[in-house]
């Protein structure tokens, strides 16, 4: 009987020393992505839908990464990389101060003359902020304005031989602290 009581006491003290599991609440703000909205170049107030837009990141040497940004997580085919809407969100690198992407408009087309690629580089600074023990840190970004590029196309590095499909790129919000607002507007 004494052994059972001793065991129960040890077991009770053992349970009381356990800590609550640290689980990051899904509603906790984490590292935000860059939110880009698309508008009609002829009517700046009219949102415009992109068609089969594929966004592919580039490495430090300027080579395309093997896959694109996933826009449709439920898909198991190539369509998971295609955006069809008036707004997209793309991740910036948290360990670097620049990120370069190929924006491939109409990437699913079987006619190569209908596919148009523009390469854009975003320069920024980043700041890590402690969120909690469960969530760790989040990174916020501040876009750097480009003063050496032409004002009408401040971020396009290479419009390609097919010409730029993006006509104007406006930075609406230089500080990227949440995904609840548009950071960049692209008119095409």
Structurally, the chain folds into a number of domains equal to 1
Q: Phi/psi at 14 (nearest 5 deg)?
A: -65, -40
Above 70 in pLDDT, residue 57? yes
| For the chain, percent of residues with pLDDT exceeding 70 | 80
* 4 within a domain of the structure (yes/no): no
Residue 15, in any domain of the structure: no
The pLDDT tens digits of the residues spanning 4-36 come to 655 555 555 555 554 455 788 888 888 999 999
Q: Determine, yes or no, domain membership for 109.
A: yes
Residue 5 domain-assigned (yes or no): no
pTM of the model: 0.79
E strands in 18-171: 34-39, 53-57, 82-83, 87-90, 98-105, 116-132, 136-143, 156-158, 168-171
Contacts of 56 by beta carbon, 8 Å cutoff, 6+ apart: 64, 65, 67, 68, 69, 101, 102, 104
Mean pLDDT across the chain: 84
Nearest one of 155, 178, 174, 185 to 33, comparing CA atoms: 178
Q: What is the extent of the structural domain holding 71?
A: 25-187
Contact (Cβ atoms closer than 8 angstroms) between residue 116 and residue 160: yes
Q: What is the mean pLDDT of residues 42-47?
A: 94
Asked, for residue 54, whether it belongs to a domain, the answer is yes
Which comes out higher in pLDDT, residue 147 or 174? 174
pLDDT of 152 above 70:
no
- For residue 35, report the phi and psi dihedrals to the nearest 5 degrees: -95, 120
**Reported confidence tier of residue 61, pLDDT bands at 50, 70, 90:** confident
Kindly give, in sequence order, each residue whose CB lies less than 8 Å from that of residue 110, ignoring residues fewer than 6 positions away.
none
Name the residue among 54, 22, 37, 53 with its Cα closest to residue 135.
22
Q: What percent of the chain has pLDDT over 90?
A: 51
Residue 19 placed within a domain: no
pLDDT of the residue at 164: 81
69 to 39, 131, 144, 171: CA distances (angstroms): 21, 26, 23, 21
* Lowest pLDDT segment from 2-6, 77-81, 165-169: 2-6
Q: How many residues does the chain have?
A: 188
Confidence of residue 145 (pLDDT cuts 50, 70, 90): confident
Provide the CA 83 distance to its chain's centre, in angstroms. Answer: 13
Residue 159 resides in a domain: yes
Considering the domain boundaries, does residue 6 fall inside one?
no
Q: How far apart are CA 82 and CA 121, in angstroms?
A: 20
| Counts for the chain of helices (H) and strands (E), in that order | 1, 11
């Amino acid at each position: 009987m004494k052994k059972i009581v001793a065991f129960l006491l040890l077991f009770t003290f053992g349970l009381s020393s356990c800590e609550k599991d640290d689980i990051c609440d899904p509603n906790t703000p984490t590292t935000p992505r860059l939110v880009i909205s698309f508008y009609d170049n002829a009517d700046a107030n009219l949102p415009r839908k992109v068609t089969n837009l594929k966004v592919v990141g580039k490495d430090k040497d300027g080579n395309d990464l093997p896959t694109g940004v996933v826009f449709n997580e439920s898909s198991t085919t190539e369509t998971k990389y295609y955006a069809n809407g008036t707004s997209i969100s793309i991740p910036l690198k948290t360990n670097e101060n620049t990120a370069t992407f190929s924006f491939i408009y109409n990437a699913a087309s079987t006619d190569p003359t209908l596919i148009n690629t523009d390469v854009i580089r975003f320069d920024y600074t980043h700041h890590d902020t402690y969120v909690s023990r469960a969530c760790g840190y989040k990174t916020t970004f501040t876009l750097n304005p480009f003063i050496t590029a032409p004002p009408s196309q401040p971020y396009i590095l290479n419009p390609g031989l097919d010409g730029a499909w993006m006509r104007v790129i406006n930075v609406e919000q230089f500080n990227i602290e949440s995904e609840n607002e548009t950071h960049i507007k692209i008119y095409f």
